[in-house]
Structure 1
Amino acid sequence: MLDRRQFAGAALAFTGLALQSGAARAGMMATDPGYGPLQPDPAGLLDLPPGFSYRILSSFGDAMSDGNVVPDRADGMGCFKLDNGRIALVRNHELQPKHVADGPFARNGHLPDEAFDRAGGSALPGGTTTLVLDPETFAVERQYLSLVGTIRNCSGGVTPWNSWLSCEENVAAPADGVGKPHGWIFDVPADGSTLVKAEPLKAMGRFMREAAAVDPRTGITYMTEDRDDSLFYRFLPDDPGSLHRGGRLQALAFTDQWLRDTRNWAGQKMAPGSWQFARWIDLDDPESPNDDLRLRGAKEGAAIFARGEGIHWGQDELYFTCTSGGRAKQGQIMRYRPSRHEGKSREKSAPGRLQLFLESTDPTQYSFGDNLTVAPNGHLIVCEDQYGDTVDNHLRGVTPFGEVYAFARVRTQTEPAGACFSPDGKTLFLNLYSPTKTVAITGPF
């Protein structure tokens, strides 16, 4: 968790109103706030600044240690330090039932007992794979299937108990040709050695999930939803650290009840740099068989967001992206600072606050931010996920003053995803979505 906490110290130093002014950004620094101009990659894969390089650790179709193969569509990912000094990467695969041929079973149907769901002659192909790396050389000592039988595992989040919360971005039900309802979150230990028994944490809600972040001080889990009219959720566990024991699901609203829409699509309802005091609305029936959590929450006054996606947790605050937010629909980054009484009865006397930290007005500056993490220097690193026939996705750096720069450019027609730093902060791990490649980036961070 140390790399995630480094961001807070830098973030506390800046003021809100200076964050988003284009003129202010232009005047703050006469030089590039990043690492310099990107250098063309002779291999045509990933352009990086001077002094940085990458190596490919794992690719779609590689044989894994358990006899399966590396699946396609790698998305969110978490990095963990194991007790034996090794590094583990737990990697999502955003596979749907129609993607069985791109799954882990090399076109041969398989029905492991640990799979959550199945259709036809095989377990559903979505899930996670785990890579165990030598901490010095990053050689892959083993990689294996760690969760299967799920649908479209998009992003997730690391936990203080060294596991990965893998989130389904799909709400298919038996009427859609699958065996069970989907839209759940699953807890996958980083220190396992084989498939985990897939058990959904149903009290945490059923919706079009994207990512999660756990406050290590309280065990409260914050969650995003990837829809145009999404909510921002939190889960108050009955037993912090044991999410399977249940708790309360809530959605964020504002104490100023006139403000319910943060998207700014129809005008500047939420000013860049501004803070709003938060309140939280209890959500009944979290298993939501009608897939209406967001609709019921909005009816009760919950705030609406434009496709909430990746979350980063700092020491005492978190950041999350809204992929299509803003007047230009190019993306926003929100910052939430919890109450010192978060989730307690005294919370109303000192509520948490939400800030619109960044709103893009120019696709060449920042476009469709998705997964995000933090660099050792306190800058956010955000994965772009543009849409269209031709994409030009970057990793964008964002300074604590809201300045945006290009850290990397993906040269293939796919998205970067799953950015996360090694425990020592010296290596950035990254997925290239399809065909799957997981790379390690090193340099003068």
Structure 2
Amino acid sequence: MDRRNFLRAAMLGAGVTAFGNTLTPSAMAAPAQNGPSPYGPLQATDANGIQLPAGFASRVIARSGQQVAGYTWHSAPDGGAVFADGTGWIYVSNSEINPGGGASAIRFASNGSITGAYRILANTRQNCAGGKMPWNRWLSCEEVDRGLVYECDPQGTASAIQRPAMGRFKHEAAAADPVRKVIYLTEDVTDGCFYRFIPTTWGDLSAGTLQALKAGSATSGSFTWGTVTDPDGSPTATRSQVSGAKRFNGGEGLHYANDTAWFTTKGDNRVWQLDLAAGTYELAYDDSLVSPGTAPLTGVDNVTGSSFGDLYIAEDGGNMEICVITPDDIVAPFLRVTGQSASEITGPAFSPAGNRLYFSSQRGTSGSSSGGITYEVTGPFRT
């Protein structure tokens, strides 16, 4: 799939996520296969219970129920993103509890020191994933029946706003496409759809058209879009309103880089790739097609990308790894969290410079939503 050129060029672009791309996607040869990690083998467990490649280090930046910069960090940290903030940056993180979910933020100085933390969304339900918008807003998505999307200010200054025009369904992730001026959305049910929202005015999510992807039952082919006539989803669910809509088994993480979207489906442990310019789709990864040996990536969930072209995919289940899929279609573990088998990895996101990776263990060592741990990893990431 030659992702390296796609994503490397993104830092020159408009910054939909921390990274993006500007080149035309090429055909993908085959789903990713086992191979050696570009960072080498995992080393012994560090003081934080994390196995990393040589040259990398971890630190704990927040724990659920404990103070970080005078603010009590939320339970069950989930999807996240990083926003530039002057010479520093802000990491935002959802809270996947119901009721009382929402999202919080941690502010960093240019040297990586923590300078503040605060709430940006409160009193919502099971905020799982979401997405970073190019106008510096975070979409926090409710993973409940007829759930809503909330547009949040990572600075914590402006109040969060409901965006019902984006549909009421069991939301998971979102990603902006500034070329086509649309927002893509995943749905976390076994027969879910892949959606796009076309705002009436780009940058204003108060009104627009919601559509679902239409395609056959194969794992590759062409696609079109059909309009969801009633985004409110009552009495007919949004996923049941478009004839010929393609079904995806548990939509999860979603990453956009110019003209390409990657998203995961947990029910079948797949990573899908959409070539949005060509209107085609195919598999970037399928754990049942991996060889030789055992698939390293299972329980696919949140996903992000680097400027080099690597995809980083977090596991919900599996053996608590973040795995990397390289531009030459090699899949391998990047890190492993030990002693936390009752948890899941969530919210991977890179700092603006690409040299720091943030993520959370949603339930930590306790296996409870009140035991979440949020980490930072530093080291020689490929950029």
TM-score grouping bracket, smaller chain normalisation: 0.7 to 0.9
| Aligned residue number for residue 177 of structure 2 | 215
Q: Post-superposition shift, 1:62?
A: 2.1
Q: Which residue of 2 aligns with 1:442?
A: 378
Match of 2:101 in 1: 126
The list of structure 1 runs, each at least 4 consecutive aligned residues, that deviate by more than 6 angstroms after superposition, is none
Query: What is the CA–CA distance in structure 1 between the aligned matches of 2:251 and 2:96, rounded to whole Å?
Result: 17
The answer to whether residue 366 in structure 2 is matched with residue 366 in structure 1 is no
Separation of aligned partners in 1, 2:21 and 2:30: 16
Q: Residue 58 of structure 1 aligns with which residue?
A: 62
Instruction: State how far apart, in whole Å, the 1-side matches of 2:127 and 2:165 are.
Output: 18
Among 307, 314, 317, the residue aligned to 1:376 = 307
- 1:10 Cα deviation from its structure 2 partner: 8.6
- More off after superposition, 202-211 vs 426-435: 426-435
Please tell me whether residue 169 in structure 1 is matched to residue 143 in structure 2: yes
The alignment covers a number of residue pairs equal to 355
Q: Greater strand share, 1 or 2?
A: 2
Q: Counterpart in 2 of 1:418?
A: 347
Question: Deviation per CA, 1:172-222, whole angstroms, max 9, x where unpaired?
Answer: xxxxxxxxxx500011112234xx534310111000000000012343000
C-alpha separation between the residues in 2 aligned to 1:295 and 1:54? 45
8 A Cα contact 1:207 1:291, kept in partner = no
Tell me the distance in 2 between the aligned counterparts of 1:7 and 1:161.
15
Give 1:11 shift: 8.4
In structure 1, give the amino acid aligned to 2:244: G
Shift of 1:305: 0.5
Report the equivalent of 1:87. Answer: 89
Unaligned stretches of 5+ in structure 1? Answer: 98-124, 172-181, 262-268, 326-330, 340-350
1:293 aligns with 2:220: no
Specify the alignment match of 2:316 in structure 1. 385
SS at 1:166 equivalent: strand
- Structure 1 residues 40-84: Cα deviation after superposition (integer angstroms, max 9, x where no partner): 22425211111110111111122356x7521110000010002x3
Cα RMSD, aligned residues only: 2.2
Match of 1:19 in 2: 30
The alignment partner of 2:151 has SS state of strand
Residues in 2 aligned to 1:323 and 1:241: alpha-carbon distance in whole angstroms: 30
Among all aligned residue pairs of Structure 1 and Structure 2, give the percentage whose two residues are the same amino acid: 32
Q: Displacement of 1:278 after TM fit?
A: 1.3
2:279 aligned to which of 331, 352, 356: 352
Q: CA deviation at 1:291?
A: 5.9
Any conservation in 2 of the 1:57–1:139 contact (CA below 8 Å)?
A: no
Q: Which residue of 1 aligns with 2:367?
A: none
- Aligned counterparts of 1:44 and 1:249: Cα–Cα separation in 2: 43
C-alpha displacement of 1:295: 2.1
Aligned-partner Cα distance in 1 for 2:172–2:373: 21
Instruction: Please tell me the residue identity of whatever aligns with 1:87.
Output: W
Q: Is the 8 A contact 1:54 1:442 kept in 2?
A: yes
Please name the residue that 2:366 is paired with: none
Pick one of 116, 125, 141 that aligns with 1:151: 125
**Residues 415 and 291 of structure 1: is their aligned pair in 2 closer, same or farther, counting only changes over 3 Å?**
farther
In structure 1, the residue matched to 2:259 is: 316
Query: Are the counterparts in 1 of residues 94 and 127 from structure 2 also a CA contact under 8 Å?
Result: yes
- 8 Å CA contact 2:270, 2:283 repeated in 1: yes
Match of 2:4 in 1: none
Tell me, yes or no, if structure 1 residue 405 matches structure 2 residue 351.
no
Q: For residues 371-416 of structure 1, what are the alpha-carbon distances to aligned partners after superposition, in whole Å with 9 as ceiling and x for unaligned?
A: 0011232110000111xxxx52210100123211000111122111
Q: Which has the higher helix share?
A: 1
- How high is the TM-score relative to the length of structure 2? 0.87
Is the partner of 2:223 in helix, strand or coil? Answer: strand
Q: Which amino acid aligns with 1:140?
A: I
1:432 to 356, 361, 383: 361
Q: Is 1:39–2:3 an aligned residue pair? A: no
Contact 1:35 1:49 in 2 (8 A): yes
Distance 1:240 1:147 in 2: 23
Structure 2: runs of 5 or more not aligned: 1-9, 364-370
Tell me the TM-score normalised to structure 1 length: 0.75
For 2:368, the equivalent position in structure 1 comes to none
